[in-house]
């Protein structure tokens, strides 16, 4: 998953999982003098929510002596998530998380690339991962699953060290270590179908232990390079980001909302 010489960008939102991941990686890094860690945070622009999380992420990184950078939606896309949510609601669209997820994914890649990272680690745990996989099945976007071992020019390879750790375990780590993290949920979180999928999976897991691992393993097989059609990767004709489409998903989302602009990678603040 990781080499001893990695310059690893860690996506830190300020929540319990990402703060725990940064702690664990910073301990491991001490055993590998050639490895470097750098924390990156995406500021979506969610008033009354994200600022506290950014402060927590910054203080966690500072305490651990890790370089920290913030990249905002407004500098990358010209709009905050609050602007995008207003526009989406005007158009009768209420699933703000669906837009945010696509825009965050690109933003994290740009942030990792801007700090010259060789890999990008995110703190998705087993619960996050199985929920996302099932949601992609329900939304009909399963063909967009990207196998982690596939190298794509312009995309910083991602690793998810908590992918097989249940959320209860990552939460336990944060509590036992008395880490400071944001516990208030995002005000848009209830606009996602994630809560329904989470309840469904939690109920199944209770009655059939091991179900979440089965879901994970099945999707891993489905997205394996031997099963997945080897789609040609090119550049988004608007922003230049790597994509298998004419325009990347982030540009498509902004175009749908009438908020598109020519975007370029911005330097981190």
Q: Which residues bind ligand SF4 (CB under 6 A)?
A: 44, 96-97, 100-101, 186, 188-189, 192
Q: Which of residues 185-204 bind Zn ion (CB under 5 A)?
A: none
Tell me the two tokens of residue 244: 């298998």
d(CA 252, CA 238): 10
Residue 236's binding partner out of Zn ion, ligand SF4, none, with CB under 5 to 8 Å set by partner kind: Zn ion
**What's the angle, vertex CA 147, arms to CA 28 and CA 121, rounded to 5?**
25
Q: List, in sequence order, the alpha helices (H) in 177-237.
A: 194-207, 211-222
Q: Which is nearer to ligand SF4, 20 or 192 (CB)?
A: 192
Contacting Zn ion (CB under 5 A), which of 134, 163, 251, 268?
A: 251
């999928």: which residue's tokens? 197
Strands 119-121 and 67-72: unpaired
70-78, 88-96, 197-205, 251-259 -> range binding Zn ion (CB under 5 A): 251-259
Sign of CA dihedral 135, 100, 124, 244: positive
Nearest distance from C-beta of residue 185 to ligand SF4, angstroms: 7
24-32, 64-72, 86-94, 237-245 -> range binding Zn ion (CB under 5 A): 237-245
d(CA 72, CA 81): 10
Half-sphere exposure at residue 115, Cβ-oriented, CA atoms within 13 angstroms:
28
Q: Which is nearer to ligand SF4, 18 or 114 (CB)?
A: 18
Q: Closest Cα to residue 170, out of 120, 121, 125, 216?
A: 125
| Coil, strand or helix at 62 | helix
| Rg, C-alpha atoms of the chain | 18
Q: Which is nearer to ligand SF4, 96 or 197 (CB)?
A: 96
């990792």: which residue's tokens? 112
Nearest distance from C-beta of residue 245 to Zn ion, angstroms: 9
Q: Which is nearer to ligand SF4, 101 or 154 (CB)?
A: 101
79-87, 134-142, 173-181, 250-258 -> range binding Zn ion (CB under 5 A): 250-258
Nearest distance from C-beta of residue 20 to ligand SF4, angstroms: 18
Residue 248's binding partner out of Zn ion, ligand SF4, none, with CB under 5 to 8 Å set by partner kind: Zn ion
Q: Which is nearer to Zn ion, 23 or 235 (CB)?
A: 235
Q: Which is nearer to Zn ion, 23 or 105 (CB)?
A: 105
Residue 26 touching Zn ion (CB under 5 A): no
Q: Which is nearer to Zn ion, 4 or 234 (CB)?
A: 234
Nearest distance from C-beta of residue 141 to Zn ion, angstroms: 17
Tell me the two tokens of residue 33: 């003098």
Residue 155 touching Zn ion (CB under 5 A): no
Residue 239 touching Zn ion (CB under 5 A): yes
Is 145:223 a contact under the CB 8 Å cutoff? yes
Sign of CA dihedral 197, 198, 201, 202: negative
Interface ranges with Zn ion (CB under 5 A): 236, 238-239, 241, 248, 251
């Amino acid at each position: 998953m990781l080499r001893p010489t990695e310059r690893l960008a860690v996506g830190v939102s300020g929540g319990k999982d990402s703060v725990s991941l940064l702690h664990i990686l910073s301990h491991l890094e001490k055993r590998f003098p050639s490895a470097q860690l750098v924390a990156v945070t995406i500021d979506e622009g969610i008033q009354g929510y994200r600022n506290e999380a950014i402060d927590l992420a910054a203080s966690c990184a500072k305490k651990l002596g890790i370089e920290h950078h913030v990249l905002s939606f407004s500098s990358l896309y010209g709009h905050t998530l609050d602007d995008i949510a207003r526009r989406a609601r005007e158009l009768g669209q209420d699933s703000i998380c669906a837009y945010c997820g696509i825009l965050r994914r690109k933003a994290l890649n740009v942030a990792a690339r801007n700090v010259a990272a060789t890999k990008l680690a995110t703190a998705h745990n087993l619960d996050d991962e199985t929920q996302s996989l099932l949601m992609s099945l329900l939304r009909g976007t399963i063909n967009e699953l990207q196998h982690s071992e596939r190298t794509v020019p312009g995309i910083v390879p991602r690793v998810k060290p908590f992918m097989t750790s249940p959320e209860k375990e990552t939460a336990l780590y944060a509590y036992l270590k008395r880490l400071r993290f944001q516990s208030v949920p995002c005000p848009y979180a209830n606009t996602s179908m994630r809560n329904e999928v989470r309840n469904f999976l939690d109920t199944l897991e209770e009655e059939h232990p091991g179900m979440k691992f089965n879901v994970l393993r099945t999707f891993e097989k489905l997205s394996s390079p031997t099963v997945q059609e080897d789609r040609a990767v090119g550049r988004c004709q608007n922003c230049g980001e790597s994509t298998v489409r004419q325009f990347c998903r982030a540009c498509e989302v902004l175009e749908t909302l009438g908020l598109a602009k020519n975007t370029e990678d911005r330097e981190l603040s």
